[in-house]
A and B are shown apart, each in its own frame.
Chain A
């Protein structure tokens, strides 16, 4: 049985777990810096690292919320794809209109996921596996309807160039800090703040023991609906960032592994798939660990054929270290 008070006071910022992850990250950075002879630590490389992972950071934040409630969201990649296609299809409605369309489409997936998991009590894995298939299919159908045969939706489709504002966003910067990085950090702070609010904080007792949480008066359904909706909307934001980066909508935006990557990153960051555990800071480190790993492997010229195996090993080792900590 859980102690609600304990969850309230400690779980959102579990210092020990964050330190554990930080040790892994720092040793990786040290390794990278030494073996790349300093190239890794150059400002350009670090900014690149954060730029490449801006979308994944945002997606993984949503994944974190869902995982803490003992759920899982396999549909994030598909939602990102739908959002990117909608963004381009609605380009005639201006920047605001297309963003609203992209996020609105994403939100529909979140509502469906949340309702099926919360009210009909279907297992999250199956629900989001199904909506993942539906999402990728819808993204292809939408781009098919736009005349691009289920492929990428080019921005010239409506007879219009993609408003340069999009690409300006991706390349833009504020006081020297690139905007996508600022946006991803903004969401990090937003979600951390959300977890400090009452509703946000309730995800820990819900994930720790749903029944006890319900009996102690936690509005379980609100909490669960909120996390699935947030997860989808955040995936929608990632879709928008994708469009601003590559300048087109793609039914395969983010690649087929992005949902699994986000789950791996959250797990590395200390979130437990059996619910109730996970922090925003840990999640950030989790994404960065995966990002640094990719970055090192490229800098050191590790053949791309070997990279998936190394990544798999690192995921296993990192999560193993986390679970050892939980046993103590």
Chain B
């Protein structure tokens, strides 16, 4: 999706990378004017907080690329945390983490099966799963938080290398891996194709059902990784937390240039998307602006981002027509 006319220089580049530009501007302004913003502690605080959303956003990106949506992520985080915390006291760290990843991925597979084999819209399927996963978490934990006693697991949640949280490093590895996979592997290209036009994808021999099954399972798997890190950070499993995390991940994908109509979006854009939100929240906190402003600012930002990408699409259409 490169713009056709190379002549129109930096202005169209800014249009194409609005989230990145906004992020850089905010980052520079924050570094100059906001005391304590440009500090190792602050950066690692942002990363600690947003690494979890980052995993969710990567999963959400895969789903949104196929023109779907995953509303169950927040509940899946809570579900993972309960499974991990319950299993950990009995079986130790590794089996517990594996159990959490597996159980949550199974729920994702159910999402994928329902979306690909029935005509229930993805919105309703994952809305239903939102309730089901939340309910399972509540039932398993008897609606009480489950504390994690194992010290080394809790330490993992706070571990860092040269001030960079380990969770952020794992996230970076996943970003690079998924970025490569989407660009260079057949399955990755197929994901874009399904989102671009499901009908033409099917006609050109792509197994659309399999792709859809894959993205919802992958979304749940990535969400589960976020859930494991969340559990380590809280040092407990919480059946009622992580509400609305899916809204954050959807917002990150969209601000990063993703389109809910499918076929458009990138890992890089998504990363910029959640880093942008992290930066804004951090600046608001440091400056001491009422946290109640956060929603307004986030909302306006989301609107600006989609408006810009819409403008870009219109311009591309026009230039195509001219040719």
Within 8 A of A (CB), among B120-149: 120-121, 123-125, 127-132, 134-136, 138-139, 142-143
In angstroms, Cα B124 to Cα A19, docked, is: 22
Q: Is B299 a contact partner of A122 (Cβ separation < 8 A)?
A: no
**Which of chain B's residues have a CB closer than 8 A to the CB of A43?**
none
> Which of B48-56, B170-178, B244-252 lies at the interface with chain A?
B244-252
CB distance from A81 to the nearest CB of B (A): 11
CB distance from A209 to the nearest CB of B (A): 16
Q: Any chain B CB within 8 A of the CB of A160?
A: no
Q: Is B127 a contact partner of A309 (Cβ separation < 8 A)?
A: no
CB distance from A25 to the nearest CB of B (A): 18
Q: Is B295 a contact partner of A312 (Cβ separation < 8 A)?
A: no
Q: Any chain A CB within 8 A of the CB of B22?
A: no
**Which of chain A's residues have a CB closer than 8 A to the CB of B247?**
129, 133
Q: Is A309 a contact partner of B119 (Cβ separation < 8 A)?
A: no
Q: Is B306 a contact partner of A126 (Cβ separation < 8 A)?
A: yes
In angstroms, Cα B299 to Cα A141, docked, is: 14
Q: Is A308 a contact partner of B131 (Cβ separation < 8 A)?
A: yes
A144-B303 CB under 8 A given contacts A121-B310, A308-B131, A312-B135: no
**Which of chain B's residues have a CB closer than 8 A to the CB of A122?**
303, 306-307, 310
Q: Is A315 a contact partner of B296 (Cβ separation < 8 A)?
A: no
Q: Contacting B134 at CB < 8 Å: which of A141, A263, A309? A: A309
Q: Any chain A CB within 8 A of the CB of B300?
A: yes
In angstroms, Cα B299 to Cα A126, docked, is: 9
Q: Is B299 a contact partner of A125 (Cβ separation < 8 A)?
A: no
**Which of chain B's residues have a CB closer than 8 A to the CB of A138?**
295-296
Q: Is B119 a contact partner of A327 (Cβ separation < 8 A)?
A: yes
Q: Any chain A CB within 8 A of the CB of B261?
A: yes
Closest chain B residue to A123, Cβ basis: B260
Q: Any chain A CB within 8 A of the CB of B36?
A: no
Q: Is B114 a contact partner of A131 (Cβ separation < 8 A)?
A: no
In angstroms, Cα B306 to Cα A312, docked, is: 31
Q: Is B128 a contact partner of A312 (Cβ separation < 8 A)?
A: yes
A140-B292 CB under 8 A given contacts A123-B261, A129-B302, A307-B135: yes
Q: Is B120 a contact partner of A316 (Cβ separation < 8 A)?
A: yes
**Which of chain B's residues have a CB closer than 8 A to the CB of A256?**
243-244
Q: Is A133 a contact partner of B131 (Cβ separation < 8 A)?
A: no
**Which of chain A's residues have a CB closer than 8 A to the CB of B132?**
308-309, 312-313
Q: Any chain A CB within 8 A of the CB of B39?
A: no
Q: Any chain B CB within 8 A of the CB of A134?
A: yes
Closest chain A residue to B141, Cβ basis: A305
In angstroms, Cα B114 to Cα A23, docked, is: 23
In angstroms, Cα B131 to Cα A313, docked, is: 8
Q: Any chain B CB within 8 A of the CB of A3?
A: no
Q: Contacting B143 at CB < 8 Å: which of A120, A137, A273, A305? A: A305
Q: Is A116 a contact partner of B131 (Cβ separation < 8 A)?
A: no
Q: Is B302 a contact partner of A126 (Cβ separation < 8 A)?
A: yes
Q: Contacting A141 at CB < 8 Å: which of B243, B251, B296? A: B296
**Which of chain A's residues have a CB closer than 8 A to the CB of B184?**
none
A320-B118 CB under 8 A given contacts A127-B306, A134-B299: yes
In angstroms, Cα B131 to Cα A135, docked, is: 24
Q: Is B260 a contact partner of A125 (Cβ separation < 8 A)?
A: yes
Q: Is A130 a contact partner of B260 (Cβ separation < 8 A)?
A: no
Closest chain A residue to B244, Cβ basis: A256
Q: Any chain A CB within 8 A of the CB of B294?
A: yes
CB distance from A96 to the nearest CB of B (A): 29
In angstroms, Cα B143 to Cα A120, docked, is: 45
Q: Contacting A267 at CB < 8 Å: which of B124, B136, B303? A: B124
Q: Any chain A CB within 8 A of the CB of B222?
A: no
In angstroms, Cα B261 to Cα A313, docked, is: 27
CB distance from A195 to the nearest CB of B (A): 23
Q: Any chain A CB within 8 A of the CB of B233?
A: no
Q: Is B299 a contact partner of A130 (Cβ separation < 8 A)?
A: yes
Q: Is A123 a contact partner of B292 (Cβ separation < 8 A)?
A: no
**Which of chain B's residues have a CB closer than 8 A to the CB of A222?**
none
Q: Is B293 a contact partner of A263 (Cβ separation < 8 A)?
A: no
In angstroms, Cα B295 to Cα A273, docked, is: 26
In angstroms, Cα B132 to Cα A307, docked, is: 9
Q: Is A323 a contact partner of B118 (Cβ separation < 8 A)?
A: yes
Q: Any chain B CB within 8 A of the CB of A191?
A: no
Q: Contacting B299 at CB < 8 Å: which of A120, A133, A303? A: A133
Q: Any chain B CB within 8 A of the CB of A274?
A: yes
Q: Is B302 a contact partner of A315 (Cβ separation < 8 A)?
A: no
Q: Is A319 a contact partner of B124 (Cβ separation < 8 A)?
A: yes
Q: Is B123 a contact partner of A273 (Cβ separation < 8 A)?
A: yes
**Which of chain B's residues have a CB closer than 8 A to the CB of A150?**
290, 292
**Which of chain A's residues have a CB closer than 8 A to the CB of B71?**
260
What are 22 of the A-B contact pairs (CB < 8 Å)?
A126-B260, A129-B250, A129-B302, A130-B300, A133-B295, A137-B297, A138-B295, A138-B296, A141-B296, A144-B292, A150-B292, A263-B127, A272-B121, A273-B121, A303-B139, A305-B135, A305-B138, A309-B134, A312-B132, A319-B120, A324-B119, A327-B119
19 new A-B contacts at CB < 8 Å, known A129-B302, A260-B130, A309-B134: A120-B307, A123-B259, A123-B261, A126-B254, A126-B303, A133-B298, A134-B296, A137-B293, A138-B296, A260-B127, A273-B121, A305-B142, A305-B143, A308-B134, A309-B132, A315-B128, A315-B131, A316-B124, A323-B120
